[in-house]
Amino acid sequence: MAAPFRLVAGDYAPVQQSSTTCGSASLTVARMLVNPAFAAWIRDGIPKGARDDVMSRAFVPDAGTARQRFAAYEQVVAGRTNGLVGAGGSLQLPWPRALGTPPWGARHEIEFGAAAPGAAYEVTWLRHRGRAGLERAYAALLARVRDGRPALLYIGNPRLPRHVLLVMPPTADQDLDVYEPSIGRVVDLPRQAFVDRRLRLAGWDVPWAVVWAAVDSDS
């Protein structure tokens, strides 16, 4: 049996393999966290006896290095999140890959393979919330994000969302951790920086949206 894949603040993780695949990278890492066999494929290739199960879900060649496998799966994810038919056969609005990962495609993808079975997800927009609204959103993230229930956070400038992070449970204090795909590192997501719109993550400051487990999702 493959060992679980875990990440905590300060850990290194795969870097997004193109300028537009931050969402795909975050979704790939989210799947690694809930699927040990998939994580083992990314890291080490297909273990004997596991190839059929993993490859039937990944639909990508068994590339030669971990970086190549991660890059290949990023493209599989991008094809699903941005296509007319999303993960699990869901119909959705197509979106140009050059514009990144749309939240609706990310929602279908995270429900399909990047969260524990039974999780229902929803998209919530944050851009026009005031400080009190962002305080409530951060508290809700703390309540909803746990093992098997990651979330995606869209951030950007005051005009547009530009980057996607994977939100994970806190490990040592009351602040959340995020996988930052542009640097391949798990870093803190401080409450005050979130509320003040001064995130300073990948050059972006403003919380735009979250894709997170619905409040009535199966526990």
Note whether residue 7 is domain-resident.
no
HSE-up (13 A, CA, CB side) for residue 61: 4
Note whether residue 127 is domain-resident.
yes
Q: For residue range 46-73, list pLDDT tens digits in order.
A: 655 445 445 445 455 566 889 999 999 9
Note whether residue 12 is domain-resident.
no
Note whether residue 15 is domain-resident.
no
Indicate the number of domains in the chain: 1
* Average confidence (pLDDT) over 133-143: 95
Give the model's confidence band at 8: pLDDT under 50 very low, under 70 low, under 90 confident, else very high. Answer: confident
Note whether residue 198 is domain-resident.
yes
Note whether residue 171 is domain-resident.
yes
Predicted local distance difference test score (pLDDT) of residue 193: 96
Predicted local distance difference test score (pLDDT) of residue 163: 97
Give the model's confidence band at 81: pLDDT under 50 very low, under 70 low, under 90 confident, else very high. Answer: very high
**187 is in which domain, residue-wise?**
22-213
Mean pLDDT in the chain?
A: 88
Predicted local distance difference test score (pLDDT) of residue 173: 64
Predicted local distance difference test score (pLDDT) of residue 59: 52
Cite the beta strand spans of the chain per DSSP E: 121-125, 151-156, 161-168, 176-180, 185-189, 206-213
88, 116, 206, 13: CA torsion to nearest 10 = -100
Note whether residue 206 is domain-resident.
yes
- Percent of the chain having pLDDT more than 90? 66
Note whether residue 174 is domain-resident.
yes
Predicted local distance difference test score (pLDDT) of residue 171: 72
Distance of alpha carbon 59 from alpha carbon 72, whole angstroms: 9
Predicted local distance difference test score (pLDDT) of residue 114: 82
Q: What is the CATH number of the domain that holds 208?
A: 3.90.70
Residue 136: how many other CB atoms lie within 10 Å: 13
